[in-house]
Amino acid sequence: MPSLKGLTIGLPKILMSMTYLQTASDKADERLLRSLLNDDATPEQAQRIFKRVFSDLIKWSTEDIEEHLAYAFNFRPLEIEHLFNKFTHELPTQANLALTYRAFPCFDNDFKRAEEYGNNFENAKHLLNKVKQSLSKTTLFPGDFWSLDDWDKFIKERQKWNGFISEFSNYIDEHSKSALNLSKNIKDIQSSNIGMFNKFFNFMLDNGVFFAPSAYEAGFISESHSKLLLVLVRVQY
């Protein structure tokens, strides 16, 4: 018997090719999934429900999840699209689950450029949302096509492009969040009391503790620093 660890994304397709009869557990899962369509559903709820419904023994792609929602849980295309748009980052796809390193600019402590960069990505997100809304504005049905084969091809193409849009949306969100958080942090540092830092730095240096000579650097204490020194710092400042 093959190891479950080696399962690939082909498994959902095999399951979907057969007539699917819902179990009691499937019906319960469908109710949970449909609760995510409500306006008050949160990302935390989505993570819990997706983790319950989609086994981590399977390497899910965006297309696999869409097919599973359609065939196993009777989700319509617009419902799937709504779910994907709302919970892009919570979907249990390999792209979301993989621990990947992403490079973000630091702008050499120039908070104005960081803020501009983040705002540009925020604007891009608004434009992307308008694109998604425009593409979904007209509801299509199987009868709108020459054949069911054409309808099936259309759905698969739509699923593929929805996956691309979701990945692009994720990219925009990450860069926007990184830049705007960086901008805020730089502003906070630049508004700090540099004179007080200089007094603190010199006091610590006189007592045998060397910090990096910049208010922009992080400093840490450890067990090697005596309680007496910490008391002195507290009394002094």
Minimal CA–CA distance to 95: which of 65, 122, 133, 53?
A: 65
Same domain, 19 and 74: yes
Residues 118 and 177 occupy one common structural domain: yes
pTM of the model: 0.45
Which residue is it, tokens 């006189």?
Answer: 206
**Last residue of one domain, picked from the residues 98, 125, 149:** 98
Residues 164 and 212 in one domain: no
For tokens 């509801």, name the residue.
Answer: 139
Q: Note whether 182 and 200 are same-domain residues.
A: no
Q: Which domain holds residue 205?
A: 194-236
Same domain, 62 and 11: yes
Torsion of CA 102, 105, 109, 113, to 10 degrees: -140
User: Which pLDDT value is given to residue 123?
Assistant: 92
Q: Are residues 211 and 186 in the same domain?
A: no
> Do 73 and 1 share a structural domain?
yes
What's the structural domain count of the chain? 3
Q: What is the rounded distance in angstroms from the CA atom of residue 14 to the CA atom of residue 179?
A: 43
Shared-domain flag, residues 17 and 64 = yes
* Domain boundary residue, one of 98, 121, 144: 98
Pick from 71, 84, 109: which is nearest to 163 by CA? 84
How many Å separate Cα 55 from the centre of its chain?
19
Per-residue pLDDT of the chain (237 residues; tens, 9 = 90+): 333 333 344 444 444 444 567 788 888 999 999 999 998 888 889 988 988 888 777 778 788 888 889 888 999 988 988 888 888 878 877 555 444 456 778 777 677 888 888 889 999 989 988 888 888 788 888 899 999 888 888 888 887 787 778 778 888 888 888 887 776 766 666 667 778 878 878 887 787 777 777 766 666 666 565 555 555 555 455
> Do 89 and 121 have their domain in common?
no
Three-state DSSP at 88 gives: coil
Please indicate, yes or no, whether residues 150 and 118 belong to a single structural domain of this protein: yes
CA distances in angstroms from 232 to 77, 219, 235, listed in the order given: 66, 17, 5
Q: Based on the domain organization, do 65 and 6 belong to the same domain? A: yes
Co-location of 118 and 81 in the same domain: no
State the amino acid at position 223 in one-letter form.
E
